[in-house]
Amino acid sequence: MNHPQEKAKHHPKHMWQKIMSVIANISFACAAIGVLLTIIYVGEVSEEYKAAMGAITFICFAIGIVLKAMATASIPNLKPDRDH
């Protein structure tokens, strides 16, 4: 019994998903900059500044992950048909 496999139909991305993707990429870039700054200034700043830079870097990375997941989700169209 051979059944032809149908490809999954992905709906086009919504405008807010495209915006989230851009913000996610910016957030990842900020996290990368935070890692670089933390590495460069590791011996020159106090422990409080290192902790703050690490926290900001972590938050940027976490925000990037969440927004990227939301931006790449396949969201179905839930609007009812107007055939009535």
**pLDDT tens digit sequence for 14-59:** 788 899 999 999 999 999 999 998 888 888 888 888 889 999 999 9
User: Residue 48: inside a domain, yes or no?
Assistant: yes
User: Residue 4: inside a domain, yes or no?
Assistant: no
Q: For the whole model, what pTM was predicted?
A: 0.72
State whether residue 7 is helix, strand or coil. Answer: coil
CB 60 within 8 A of CB 28: yes
User: Residue 19: inside a domain, yes or no?
Assistant: yes
Q: Where are the beta strands (DSSP E) in the chain?
A: none
Q: Is the pLDDT score of 9 beyond 80?
A: no
User: Residue 81: inside a domain, yes or no?
Assistant: no
Domain that includes residue 51, residue range: 15-72
